[in-house]
Amino acid sequence: MARLAVGLAAALVWTIFSVAPGRAAEIRAYGDFRVHGNFFQNQNFTGWNGTGAQTEDPVVFFQRLRLHFDLPASDALSFRLGLRLNNEIWGQGPLAADSSVPDIEPYQAYLQFAVPDTDLRLTVGYQPLSMPHTPVFYDSVVLSTDSGNSDTAAVVLSGPLAADILSGTLGYGRLVDANGPFDPSTTQTGDEFDLFFATLDLTLPGVTISPFGMAGVLGRGAALGGMGDTLLSAGTFLAGGGFAHNQNPAVWTGAAVIVDALAPFKMYADVAFGDVAFTDRAINRRSGWFVDAALEYGGWSWVTPQVFGWWGSGEDASLTNGSERLPSIDSSWGPICSFLFDGDQELHDTNMDVTPQGSMGLSFGLNQISLIPDLTSLAGVTVAAGTSSPAGLRKAVAATGGPGAYVQMGNDLAQGETLLSAYFNHSYAITQALDLVLETGWARGYGFHKSIWGRRMVDKAGDVFQGGLGFIYHF
């Protein structure tokens, strides 16, 4: 079915532009296909799901497709259509035998054009959107696009402000509109989550500085889904709780800094602050900080040593004054290929998905190891510890329905809880277009609090082992 859907999409694109000769300079199709098997033992440290209600299947097979069509009418006007088969499991849903479930879905659709008589460019539609971040930590801890896998309906104006020195973006996005054009009654409901943002890129000799700012309006009736766990305080979920105001402000600011003046050493740093619902009741407020830094040495051709560190503000012992962890909309942050975090792994479900907010830690890696022709490897270790009060997380668990509902053992760390992990990943270029990828990881947790997660969960915790092997075809 996937092949048929892709063929139909390609035929549609071809038909559109063949009936309007001269309108399109070219039609470019490109993307990638990934298929792999994954072994996970003691996923989530217990072998259960986050709530402790389901048992893992240790061997699962995944495949995904990303197919992009770029449809330019000229250098100044183009349209992108992105289609995907999104990390489906063999034998399930669209990949079950004789399945009739639709499997190809659009995930990008946006228009991009140059503003006449200016150097500005306007991008309108469902598009990748991420706040500035340093590349060694993969993506933004506040709003990420996860290599284009997470997109936003937005309008973005971008362009240079001073040639070769300063550029910027200005934009608006509608992240959520729960009810669409009509609210369910004759009383208007705040069911949207709107976001306004601006970024700058300042390039000076030896240093690049990229500040950003975002201001949002969060409606009381906006259906946030899983976004609510990283955006809202635990107090918001209490029975009889929720926002008092129909519309609630949210603000973020931060910057990414890259210093290469000391070559072959290169330094990276990020800082972010966010504050959500600060005009509402104190129990609904979420406000916090996050900082990270990294140093790498690029003087060797066969390996790049890197060291990383980070710190995020944690919860205090009370729910009544809200949350002290950084609020985020969509976070895909992590030291390069750390097994603990959802970062730049090439295969799906090959990390522990630890929450960076409310944690601190160090990581050391050897990146771009190239001792054998066509084989590139990465090795490293990571240690992470919690910055949140055990009492605060214990109350959050009680307020939200138990472990795994809002916070999860091994993902959200309290003071006294520590994670240690190691990883060893490889990519072998079979051809210029085909890679064989192996990703492996190990992790162990220390000091999990029974007072937070319960005796049953803590007593079940053990070492985690993971291995993923598969192919990636780029076209």
- The pLDDT score that the predictor gives to residue 8 is 45
Q: Which residues contact 242 (CB under 8 A, 6 or more apart)?
A: 220, 236, 284
Query: Which tens digit of pLDDT belongs to each residue from 82-94?
Result: 999 999 999 998 8
Distance CA 447, CA 157 (A): 48
Query: Which tens digit of pLDDT belongs to each residue from 376-386?
Result: 999 999 999 99
- Both structure tokens of 116: 């006449």
More confident residue, 149 or 62: 62
pLDDT over threshold 60, residue 2: no
Secondary structure class of 159 (helix, strand, coil): strand
Local confidence band at 343 (pLDDT 50, 70, 90 cut-offs): confident
pLDDT over threshold 60, residue 4: no
Local confidence band at 334 (pLDDT 50, 70, 90 cut-offs): very high
- Least confident range from 5-19, 25-39, 165-179, 180-194: namely 5-19
- Is there a cis peptide before residue 264, judged by omega within 30 degrees of 0? yes
- The pLDDT score that the predictor gives to residue 6 is 46
- The pLDDT score that the predictor gives to residue 1 is 42
Distance CA 236, CA 243 (A): 7
- The pLDDT score that the predictor gives to residue 5 is 45
- The pLDDT score that the predictor gives to residue 344 is 86
Helix (H) or strand (E) segment spanning residue 154: strand 151-162
Residue pair 363/307 in contact (Cβ under 8 Å)? The answer is yes
More confident residue, 174 or 93: 174
- Least confident range from 333-337, 447-451, 461-465: namely 333-337
Local confidence band at 189 (pLDDT 50, 70, 90 cut-offs): confident
Residue 266 has φ and ψ, to the nearest 5°, of: -140, 135
- The pLDDT score that the predictor gives to residue 20 is 46
Which residue in 203, 199, 175, 177 sits closest to 188, CA to CA?
177
pTM over 0.85: yes
Query: Which tens digit of pLDDT belongs to each residue from 134-154?
Result: 999 999 999 999 887 889 999
- Measure CA of the first residue to CA of the last residue in the chain; give whole Å: 20
Average pLDDT over residues 265-279: 98
- The pLDDT score that the predictor gives to residue 186 is 85
Q: Give the amino acid at 237.
A: F
Residue 318 has φ and ψ, to the nearest 5°, of: -120, 145
- The pLDDT score that the predictor gives to residue 346 is 95
- The pLDDT score that the predictor gives to residue 23 is 53
Distance CA 425, CA 284 (A): 42
pLDDT over threshold 90, residue 188: no
Secondary structure class of 248 (helix, strand, coil): strand
Secondary structure letter of residue 234 according to DSSP: G
Average pLDDT over residues 159-177: 96
Q: In this structure, is the dihedral angle defined by the CA atoms of residues 217, 219, 223 and 225, taken in order, positive or negative?
A: positive
